[in-house]
Amino acid sequence: MKLRYLLTVLIVFPGLVQAEIYKAVDENGHVTYSSAPIKGGKKIILPPLPTMDAPPPASPSGFPKVDGETQRNRDDTRYMILQNELSEEERMLEEARKNLQEGEANPEVFRGKDGKTYRNVAKYEEKIKKLTDQVELHQKNVDALKTEISKLK
């Protein structure tokens, strides 16, 4: 297990590991690694790891280029679409909030066998949960659209 960690360090961080490494095996077969000489240990010489430079990022030949005016037109169109989506989502958020207020104001009731009216708490809570989820969904959408619009500026 120690060997695995040692090799991981040597492979992942070769520039950080510059010390000499010694390996010793005792009479019970236990292997010990150290950066200082150990009695009965032998120095391990590891070959240098191959390295390569990362290729520069480049567009493939024949990759279509877009001029500045075309990109500005695309950005403007995208901005208008996001603004329209934001307006619609804000409208739906207000509607969902209104539905939630109405739902909270109108508890679920039922008539018992004795003719009395009782509150159906479980059904009320289920209804409120659905309405609350709708409000949260539209609020998250509004927030996401605002974030996306802010990235365009």
One digit per residue, the tens of pLDDT, for the chain of length 153 reads 565 655 565 555 555 546 688 888 888 888 888 888 888 888 888 888 888 888 777 777 778 888 889 999 999 999 999 999 999 999 999 999 999 999 999 888 888 888 888 888 889 999 999 999 999 999 999 999 999 999 986
**Cβ contact 86:138 at 8 Å:** no
**Cβ contact 76:82 at 8 Å:** no
First-to-final CA distance of the chain: 53
Domains defined along the chain, listed by start: 2-44 (no CATH), 68-152 (1.10.287)
Report the C-alpha gap between 135 and 63 in whole angstroms: 44
Give Cβ neighbours of residue 131 (< 8 Å, ≥ 6 apart). Answer: 96, 99, 100, 103
Residue 115 CB-half CA count within 13 A: 0
Q: Is the pTM of this model over 0.75?
A: no
* pLDDT for residue 1: 54
* pLDDT for residue 144: 96
Beta strands of the chain (E only): which ranges? 21-25, 31-34, 42-44, 109-111, 117-119
* pLDDT for residue 139: 97
For residue 130, give both structure tokens. Answer: 């659905």
**Cβ contact 140:92 at 8 Å:** no
Nearest to 2 by CA among 34, 43, 28: 34
